[in-house]
């Protein structure tokens, strides 16, 4: 088990849960006069703002701590939503096949062919950027991957004896799907979920760069980097620390996902 990545994730989850207690200052409190203050170890840094302040003079450390809550929630909620829809579509299409199945899979393939960022951008521009809309926009495209994977698994499972037996003994469709098929697709789903949490966080950051991410003043890591990008040369800390947070978390999730895949489902190597 990859100990370090798991510890990193645990640490950030803890930060997110206890953000209110751990954060040294109000992440929303502005002070224009204290804007772009450097971190404590710099020549004119101070303990008032251990990691410095952003362009509106808000405490960076506090924003990163609260940002853990926002970004992790966005990542987890989006993949869960996408996983739920995707699994449902995959199960139904694989179990019923026929016209419904092929229609659902056409829809899945169509969605897979859409450029993620482009469509998320269109959706965000249409509905206006907000936390919920960003989650929906990314989720609206990610579900197709789950559907594809689950569909493939279900097709293989349907050939197996125990499904035929379940059918013979008169199990209802619902029971077969929920009790026999779903649990057997869980390992692949889990692998995909863990790998995609990081991806969602990165996509959200890209949307922020394009002006369609989680909107200000909410502290999301992606939008913090996007806002700080003009200061890479003059006040590096504004984008560096949220960038570091994203790097650690996404890297950790990817490594854990990698490990899970090797353990649970080595066939999924091309995900």
Partner 1 sequence: MRATTALLLLLLTATEATGAAAPPAGELTVALSSFANEVLDPALGGHGVKFYLALMFDYLIGVTPDGRLSPELGIATAWEVSPDHRRWTFTLRRDVHFHNGDPLTSADVRFSILRAIGPRSTTGYAGVLRALLDRIETPAPDRVVIVTREPTLVIPPYLSRALATEGMILPKRYIESVGDDEFARKPIGSGPYRFVEQVTGSHVRLAAVPHHWRIGTPRYQTVTFRVIPEESTRMAMVRRGEVDIADVSRDRVREMEQAGFPVRYRDNDSLLHLWWILPWDRTPVRDRRVREALNLAIDRREIAATIFGGKAEPAAIPFGLTWAFRDVKLTVPDEWRYPFDPARARALLAEAGYRDGFPITIFAYQLPALPEGREMAEALAGYWQKIGVRPTLVPVDYPAFRKQWVDRTAPGAVGYYNLPNRDWIGTYTLLDKFAHTPSRPTDTVADPEIDRMLDAILTTTDRTKINELMRQAFARLRRDHDGIPLVYLHTPYVTSKRISRWDPGSVMLDLNIDGLVAER
Partner 2 sequence: MLRFVLARLSQSAITLLLFSVVIFGLARATGDPLTLVLPMVATEEDFANARRYLGLDRPLYAQYVTFVGRAATGDFGTSIRSRRPVVELLRERLPNSLALAAFSMAVSLLIAFPLGVLAAVRRGTALDSGAKVLATLGQSLPTFWVGIVLIEVVAGRLQWLPAGGSGSLAHYILPGFTLGWFVVAGLMRLLRSAMLEVLDAEYVTTARAKGASEVSVVWRHALRNALIPVVTFAGVYFAILVTSAIVVETVFAWPGMGRLAYEAITGRDFPVIQAVVLVTAAIVVTVNFAVDLLYAVIDPRIGLAS
Residues that bind partner 2 (CB under 8 A): 106-107, 109-110, 112-119, 121-123, 125-126, 155, 198-199, 202, 205-206, 209-211, 222, 225-226, 229, 232-233, 239, 243, 246-247, 250-251, 254-255, 258, 266, 269-270
Pick between residue 26 and residue 109 the one whose CB is nearest to partner 2: 109
35 interface partner picked from partner 2, partner 1, none, CB below 5 to 8 A per type: partner 1
Q: 199-218: which residues touch partner 1 (CB under 8 A)?
A: 211, 215-217
Helix (H) or strand (E) holding 68: helix 60-96
Query: Rounded CA gap, 264 and 204, in Å?
Result: 28
* Number of neighbours of residue 111 by Cβ within 10 angstroms: 20
Query: Based on CB atoms, which residue is closest to partner 1, 91 or 226?
Result: 226
DSSP 3-state assignment of 251? Answer: helix
Q: Is 25 in the site for partner 1 (CB under 8 A)?
A: no
* Residue burial 242-251, b: 16+ Cβ < 10 Å; e: rest: bbebbebbbe
- CB 96 within 8 Å of CB 160: no
- Which two three-digit tokens encode residue 58? 């808000």
CB of 46 to partner 2, least distance (A): 26
| Minimum CB distance to partner 1, residue 93 (Å) | 37
25 binds, among partner 2, partner 1, none (CB under 5 to 8 A by kind): none
Rounded to an integer, what distance in angstroms lies between the CA atom of residue 223 and that of residue 252? 21
> Minimum CB separation from partner 2 for residue 89, in Å?
15
Stretch of residues binding partner 1 (CB under 8 A), selected from 11-19, 43-51, 121-129, 149-157: 121-129
Q: From 185, 202, 182, select the one nearest 142 (Cα to Cα).
A: 202
């Amino acid at each position: 088990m990859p100990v370090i990545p798991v510890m990193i994730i645990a640490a950030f989850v803890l930060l997110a849960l206890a953000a209110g207690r751990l954060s040294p200052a109000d992440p929303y409190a502005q002070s224009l006069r204290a804007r772009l203050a450097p971190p404590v170890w710099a020549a004119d840094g101070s303990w008032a703002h251990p990691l410095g302040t952003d362009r509106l003079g808000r405490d960076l450390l506090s924003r990163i701590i609260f940002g853990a809550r926002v970004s992790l929630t966005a990542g987890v909620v989006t993949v869960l939503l996408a996983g739920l829809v995707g699994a449902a579509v995959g199960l139904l299409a694989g179990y019923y096949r026929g016209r419904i199945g092929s229609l659902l899979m056409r829809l899945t393939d169509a969605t897979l062919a859409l450029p993620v960022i482009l469509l998320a951008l269109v959706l965000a521009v249409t509905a206006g950027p907000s936390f919920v809309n960003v989650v929906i926009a990314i989720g609206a495209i990610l579900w197709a991957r789950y559907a594809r994977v689950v569909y493939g698994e279900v097709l293989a499972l349907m050939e197996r004896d125990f499904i035929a037996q379940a059918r013979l003994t008169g199990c209802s469709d619902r029971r077969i799907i929920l009790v026999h098929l779903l649990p057997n697709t869980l390992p692949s789903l889990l692998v995909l979920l863990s790998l995609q949490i990081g991806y969602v966080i990165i996509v959200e950051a890209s949307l922020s760069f394009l002006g369609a991410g989680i909107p200000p003043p909410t502290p999301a890591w992606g939008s913090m980097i996007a806002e700080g990008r003009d200061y890479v040369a003059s006040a590096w800390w504004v984008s560096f620390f949220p960038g570091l947070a994203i790097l650690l978390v996404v890297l950790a999730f990817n490594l854990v996902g990698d490990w899970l895949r090797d353990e649970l489902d080595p066939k999924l190597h091309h995900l």
